[in-house]
A and B are shown apart, each in its own frame.
Chain A
Amino acid sequence: MNWNWISSNVGAIADAALDHVVLTALAVGIGFAISFLFALLIHHDRRFYSPISGITGLLYTIPSLALLALLTPITGLSLLTAEIALVSYTLLILTRHIVAGLDGVPREIDEAAVGMGYDVGGRLMRVDLPLAIPLIVAGLRVATVTTIGLVMVTAFIGEGGLGQLMLRGFNFRNYTAVYVGAIVTVGLAIVADLGLITAGRLATPWTRPR
């Protein structure tokens, strides 16, 4: 470890980490929005399940480097290319988890809700979604941690946050940069995961025994 390198590059490391966080947050945020719509479609009408499941599943199976290579001729070496790839990989996980969460609401609770006079939107917002929170959070955790790892790969098209740091480290045999990139990335993943666990707990006080 070259501590001098670290102390003289703190700013660059922090910038890379921030980039990493922004790339991840954008990908998971956009991915969640799209998955949410997909899940509502499926929840509303089961016939949407096969096509949506097929498309998101196909996207998930394309190797990340290959997807970047396929996209670059169209969208160039850009943030857009990186995000298209990153978002693609979140869809399968998030859609499945949200659908499972909505499906997991016990039948008698839905029946009681309808019988008491909830309309479709009210039932979704006040009954089904709150009860789906634990599974939605589980999906967000997997998607977030996966995305933090995948952001590294986008270093090959000039994005990549801490991935850039590591890639340059390899190229210039600066292994300190490689280690720092790896360690900070792992740290980010752990912090994000713990943050989501905590947020999930706070959002579901009824699951805690008192």
Chain B
Amino acid sequence: MSHSTQRAPGATVEFERISKQYDTRAKGTPGAVNDLSFEVPAGKICVLVGPSGCGKTTSLKMVNRLIEPTSGRILLDGVDTATRDVTELRRRIGYVIQQVGLFPHQTIGENVVVVPRLLGWPAGRRRERAEELLELVGLDPARYRDRYPSQLSGGERQRVGVARALAADPPVMLMDEPFGAVDPIVRDRLQNEFLRLQEELAKTILFVTHDIDEAIKMGDLVAVMKSGGVLAQYGPPSEILAAPADDFVARFVGADRGLKRLSLSRVGDLELRQVAMAQPGDEAAGARRQIDPTFPYLLLIDRERRPIGWIAQDRCPSSGPLSEDLAVPMSPLFNRRATLKDALSLLLDSDVQAGIVVDRRGATLGIVTADEIAEQMRTGEHVVAADPFPGEEAALEVRSGLADGAGVEAAVG
């Protein structure tokens, strides 16, 4: 995003006793909403989640008045939306829908600046903005600007949909299952990219999904709704998972909510355990003395502290220099952004006790064990939510052979 563009900070969104009733219960009637009150602070992502027909989409559409509430008010930065001109209001709110709804007869370059055109921006400024927006969502403007939507893949269209919603830099965005129509791998990538974008943009976002995992991943706040449009619980994801308000919420978040909670914490949040370490050529006797009897292994590292492999205490010679041949390279490597859930699953998969945590240059920071993660899950004390290590890629890798560098890589969010 160009720095010449003035960035609007997010606005607060307040639902004040919002209800929407429908006379008919015909098929296709949107879900009703019953006495809904909550507040989304500026710059936060609030995910509305619940089973189909719970009124989450209805709630979303009442913000830009595609649906008018039966009673109650919605305030944007304290101003009642009902008092504002409806088209002017909509042009100030970004809107992304699952089917994307790009205009088939307009090029991508035209599609992304629909709202700026409605707002009367001159053509030159629109063209510049289109370039910025496409770059922002990771699409090369030169390649995509003049194409039509039918020439794009599903994932590319979703990106254009997000770019279009951001075009006039609205303080509030409404996203109705924005990543629902793509396969899980693309969805995961789009989610991660969007979270990274949001760190920079700090929009206030209302996000609808039926997928509790997506809600936990994307939400600063999660509003769990149940049928009849009743708000069952509202709070940060860690709170929803740790203390479901009722049976419905507990069932909805799933029996594995302990595991899900692990996806909210990252390896870097743990106090990393230190192990005995030595370099090839070091005197074995000295190294042996450092070994902790509760974890009878020595970690061999190179000059840059990069792990080479493990030497079990009983295979460690009692004298002479240590050599690389003794080390068995079999631990997964994590960086600090890996979630505990992914770390645990990799540890279980690779059938070892400990994973090695490394920094960006690959230097050893410490180890993490499955037991420690399980302990974390039991105590339920979760620090996080915000990303404490911005800039570090959330990638982790498993290497079967550390020494020869061969291995599998898995990018995890």
Contacts and interface: CB of A to CB of B under 8 A. Distances in A.
Given A130-B105, A206-B150, A115 B64 contact: yes
B150 A116 contact: no
A117 interface: yes
Query: Which of B64, B87, B164 counts the most A-chain CB atoms under 10 A from its CB?
Result: B87
A45 interface: no
Contacts of A205: 148
B103 A117 contact: no
Interface stretch (A51-59, A77-85, A104-112, A149-157): A104-112
Given A116-B115, A117-B91, A118-B118, A108 B101 contact: yes
A114 interface: yes
Interface in A35-49: none
Interface string A124-154: 0001001100000000000000000000000
A80 B280 CA distance: 105
Interface residues of A, number: 21
A122 B119 CA distance: 12
Interface in B58-98: 64, 66, 87-91, 95, 97
Contacts, number: 65
Q: Which of B90, B147, B164 has the most CB of A within 10 A?
A: B90
Given A117-B115, A210-B151, A112 B97 contact: yes
Interface in B11-30: none
A111 B87 contact: no
Interface residues of B, number: 27
A116 B100 contact: no
Interface string A171-210: 0000000000000000000000000000000001110011
B95 A116 contact: yes
Nearest to A120: B87
Nearest to B94: A116
Given A109-B102, A112-B97, A131-B103, 12 more contacts: A106-B101, A109-B103, A111-B101, A112-B101, A112-B102, A115-B66, A115-B174, A116-B115, A116-B118, A117-B89, A117-B118, A206-B150
Interface of B: 64, 66, 87-91, 95, 97, 99-106, 114-115, 118, 147-151, 164, 174
